[in-house]
């Protein structure tokens, strides 16, 4: 095998690292939901202006990528996919959000 054909050690370690980070985040997901619920109830108890009364909306923490991503390549891929009609708008938005593009502009 040629040295140029061998992926980097960093790329080889991505599989186990992604799995480990995913498991650690999954173990804490319910705790984060409870934290958001507690904070919402504190805001309701303090009668903060603009905070809705009644049932609280469900809140979820969404993590960004934990490793560097090639945002330019992803953007090009999404633009070409939308142009060719093989990607839905929802899939395109989720793909861009997964690499760190924010929808708040």
Domain that holds residue 78: 69-105
Q: Domain check: are 33 and 3 in the same one? A: yes
Write out pLDDT tens, residues 7-51: 666 666 666 777 788 888 888 889 999 999 999 888 888 888 877
Q: Kindly state whether residues 23 and 53 are assigned to the same domain.
A: yes
* Statement to judge: residues 2 and 51 lie in one domain: yes
78 in Cβ contact with 96 (< 8 Å): yes
Same domain, 23 and 57: yes
**How much is the average pLDDT of 66-72?**
73
Q: Both 47 and 7 in a single domain?
A: yes
Q: How far apart are CA 51 and CA 41, in angstroms?
A: 10
Q: Which of 19, 62, 59, 22 is CA-nearest to residue 38?
A: 59
Do 56 and 5 sit in the same domain of this protein? yes
Number of domains in the chain: 2
With contact defined as beta carbons under 8 Å apart, do 60 and 28 qualify?
Answer: no
Confidence (pTM): 0.51
Residues 60 and 94 in one domain: no
């Amino acid at each position: 095998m040629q040295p140029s054909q061998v992926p980097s050690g960093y790329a080889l370690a991505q599989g186990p690292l992604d799995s480990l980070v995913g498991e650690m985040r999954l173990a804490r997901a319910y705790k984060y939901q409870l934290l958001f619920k507690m904070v919402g109830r504190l805001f309701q108890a303090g009668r903060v202006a603009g905070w809705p009364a009644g049932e609280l909306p469900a809140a979820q923490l969404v993590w960004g990528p934990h490793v560097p991503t090639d945002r330019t390549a992803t953007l090009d891929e999404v633009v070409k996919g939308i142009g060719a009609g093989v990607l839905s708008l929802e899939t395109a938005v989720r793909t861009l959000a997964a690499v760190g593009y924010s929808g708040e502009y």
